[in-house]
Chain A
C-alpha cells in the first residue's frame, strides 16, 4: 500500500492531486481527529490499536500494510502541522512498547516487519533554522518508526508540488 497523509483543504487536494494519487490511500483532515491522550492504551489495553473510538484508531494496522508513506504538511516551526502531527502521535500502536538499543540509543521495538519509505514535503514560508529542524525531525521519525527516510522537500506553496507526485 502507498499512503499519503496531508493537511491540505480537501477540495484543493482533490482538484490538484487526487488524479496523480489515484492508487494511494489518503488520510486527510476531512474526518475529525482526537488528540493522543498519552494513556498508552494502544500498548497495554488493545495492543496495536488506539483506544480512542474515532476514525483513526487503526493507524498502526494501516501503517503495517505500507511500502511507501508520503507526508504533505505545512511546516510549523520546523515540525509538522497539528493535524499531521496528530496522525503521527496516534500512530504509536504501530510500534511495540518494549525498548531496543539502536545505534547506541534507546528506541521502541518494531511490532511489524514492513519497512516503509518515508517522503516528506513541507510547504509554507520556512526559515533556514526551521529547515534544519525539519530535516533532523524526519530522520528521527524514520528511526523510531523503523522506516527508511527517502527525502524531505520544501515548497513555498502547495501549488509547486503539482506534477511532483511520485
Chain B
C-alpha cells in the first residue's frame, strides 16, 4: 500500500509530530508499504500535496493538539482536501496521532472526533486515532530507541497502528501517555519555560506578566 504520512504541525522544523512520523515510518516500510511524506504547515494546501495525498491508499495524520482541537491551518487544509478527495471514490482509510502537551492523552478526544467527522464528510473511512499525552517531551527523547524508557507506550501504540494499517483494520480510539511520572513531567516543563524565559533575557516572574487593566493583580 502507499501510505501518506501527513505532518499537521505548523512548525517547519523540530515538531513533535514529525518525530512521531519518523518513528512510525520504518514500522510501515518493514511491512512492505511505501510511504510518502507531506507537511501541511500553512492554511493553503499546495496542489501537489492535494494530488499526492489523493494518490495514496491510507492517510496517517500526526498533529499537535491546539486549544482542544486541530490547529487552525489544518482545518483550512482539511476543507480543501474535502473538495479534492470527495469526488475521487477511493475511500481511503484515515488514522491519526494527536500529541498533547498535557499529560493525559484523552484530552485529544475532541480533536480525533473532528478528524473522524471530516472523514464522514469526505467519504473516507475512519480507522482510529491515538491521543498521546506528555507529547511535550517527545523532542527531548527523540534519540532514545523506540520502545526504551519513556517511549515504551508510544512504541506499543505505533506498532499496533502499523499492524492495523497492514490489516486494513479500524478500531476504537486509544489514549496513552509517555512513560514518565506526571509530577516530573510538570516539573520538567516548568523548568523548561523558565530556562527559555531566561534565555530571552526575562526574569522568571515575567512569565506571569499581566497586561492591561488586570496588570496590578
Contacts and interface: CB of A to CB of B under 8 A. Distances in A.
Contact of A43 (B15, B120, B207): B207
A118 interface: no
B59 to A, nearest CB: 15
Interface string B179-217: 000100010011001001100101000111111111001
Contacts of A62: 212
B68 A113 contact: no
Contacts of B217: 112-113
A158 interface: no
B117 A82 contact: no
B78 interface: yes
B125 to A, nearest CB: 15
Contacts of B116: 129
B79 interface: yes
A66 to B, nearest CB: 11
B70 A79 contact: yes
A144 B102 CA distance: 11
Interface string B116-133: 111011000000000000
B72 interface: yes
A20 B104 CA distance: 42
A25 interface: no
Contacts of B104: 105-106
User: Size band of the B side of the interface?
Assistant: 35 or more
B114 interface: yes
Nearest to A100: B186
Interface string A126-158: 010110110011001100100000000000000
Nearest to A126: B117
A63 B200 CA distance: 25
Contact of B210 (A89, A105, A112, A140): A112
Interface of A: 35-40, 43-45, 47-49, 58, 60-62, 64-65, 76-83, 85-86, 88-89, 91-92, 96-99, 105-107, 111-114, 127, 129-130, 132-133, 136-137, 140-141, 144
Interface of B: 9-11, 15, 42-43, 64, 66-73, 75-76, 78-79, 102-104, 107, 109-110, 113-118, 120-121, 182, 186, 189-190, 193, 196-197, 200, 202, 206-214, 217
27 contacts: A35-B43, A35-B71, A43-B196, A44-B196, A44-B207, A47-B202, A47-B208, A61-B211, A64-B213, A65-B213, A77-B115, A77-B118, A79-B75, A79-B110, A79-B114, A81-B75, A82-B43, A85-B71, A86-B72, A98-B193, A99-B186, A105-B103, A114-B214, A137-B69, A137-B110, A140-B110, A141-B67
